[in-house]
Amino acid sequence: MKGPDFICIGMPKAGTGWLYDQLDAHPDFWMPPVKELVYLNQSYPALAFVNDSGDAVRPRKERLARRRGTSPETRSPTGERRVHRDPLSERDVKFLRYASTGRGKPMDLEFYAGLFWFSGKQLSGDITPPYCNIESDTVRRVAQRFPQAKILLLVRDPIARVWSRICMSYAGKGFDTNLLSDAVAFRTYIEHNRHKLGGPSATQTWQRWQRHAPDMQRRLFFFDDLASEPESVRHDVLIFLDADPAGGSGAIAPDYNRKAKAKLEMTPLAREVLIDRFRDELLASAVVFGGPAHGWPAAYGL
């Protein structure tokens, strides 16, 4: 089995939800009915979107809606590791039944390849932001087994990206705003939640794949460009993935964002702590990525 046509390796809060929605609705693609497979970065992947019987594990709101006999939301802003597609197609059902056979078992690239068998002649891939944490040995193994797979990395100003994740926690009642009045406590929070807030640096992620998978095709896409020119970014993504850029994504516009919501305002204290924490990454991004990243340091007075 050929496996995925592409793998998106991050970054969290850099537009991966937008990418999934655009591809999922495009006629050239069959995307798994769950956005984040979370397989390659686990020794024993849980595949928590399916149970042992091969049935989809639904978000709580959808389960409650089904019990009430009402229509569940098909595009919830949360629960990226749960199945939202409704109704499920025959291929989706077969995908879930197959996925259930690998739950909790050792990570196996041959099993992983089978997750994309159901795409048939359409393109398919894996969009899992936590893959920015994949270790070098796994990168080498992936490159050896799937040399034809294309690698995408979506990058964003690290301070804006981390703050977006904090805003997401705040919206879900998971962030204590008292931290924003205590520099030591806020700094400790950032360090203790490194992986939750987005894992290692994007520059290190990119360089790791350059070093250990040099022959795989790779492409960077900037959140800055996505925010200002979504139609152009969509066009370039589709060209890179060998899809038809003229093909529409149904009712989904290029600037569609199902996660748009009110943001928590960044305080001067939070800004100061984040600049200190991500100073090196901001400067490295300007060198490693270029493009819009050239302006990131100056935006914070560096």
**Within a 13 Å sphere around the CA of 146, how many CA atoms are in the beta-carbon half?**
25
Q: What domains appear along the chain, each with residue ranges and CATH number?
A: 6-299 (3.40.50.300)
Q: Tens of pLDDT along 11-68?
A: 999 999 999 999 999 999 999 999 999 999 999 999 999 999 999 987 666 656 666 6
DSSP summary character for residue 50: B
**Cβ atoms 296, 286 nearer than 8 A:** yes
Question: What is the C-alpha separation between 206 and 289, in angstroms, rounded?
Answer: 9
What is the separation, in whole angstroms, between the first and last Cα of the chain? 49
Bridge partners of residue 221, in order along the sequence = 154
CA distance 48 to 50: 5
Closest CA to 1 of 94, 119, 83, 102: 119
Q: What is the pLDDT of residues 179-201, one digit of tens each?
A: 999 999 999 999 888 777 766 69
Query: Residue 59 has what pLDDT?
Result: 67
Query: Given this model, what pLDDT does residue 77 score?
Result: 45
- The mean pLDDT of 233-247, rounded to a whole number, is 97
The predicted-structure confidence for 61-119, as pLDDT tens digits, reads as follows 665 666 666 655 544 444 678 887 878 999 999 999 999 999 999 999 999 999 999 99
Per-residue model confidence (pLDDT) at position 208: 97
DSSP labels, 279-291? HHHHHHHHHHT-G
The pLDDT of residue 194 = 78
b/e code 197-226 from CB counts within 10 Å (16+ = b): bbbbbbbebbebbeebbeebebebbbbbbb
The encoded tokens of residue 27 equal 């006629």
pLDDT over threshold 90, residue 236: yes
Q: Give the per-residue pLDDT at 251.
A: 83
Worst-scoring range by mean pLDDT, 16-20, 64-68, 139-143, 254-258? 64-68
> What is the rounded CA–CA span in Å between residue 127 and residue 221?
14
Q: So what's the pLDDT on residue 96?
A: 97
When mean pLDDT is compared across 87-91, 169-173, 292-296, the lowest value belongs to 169-173
How does the average pLDDT of the chain come out, rounded? 91
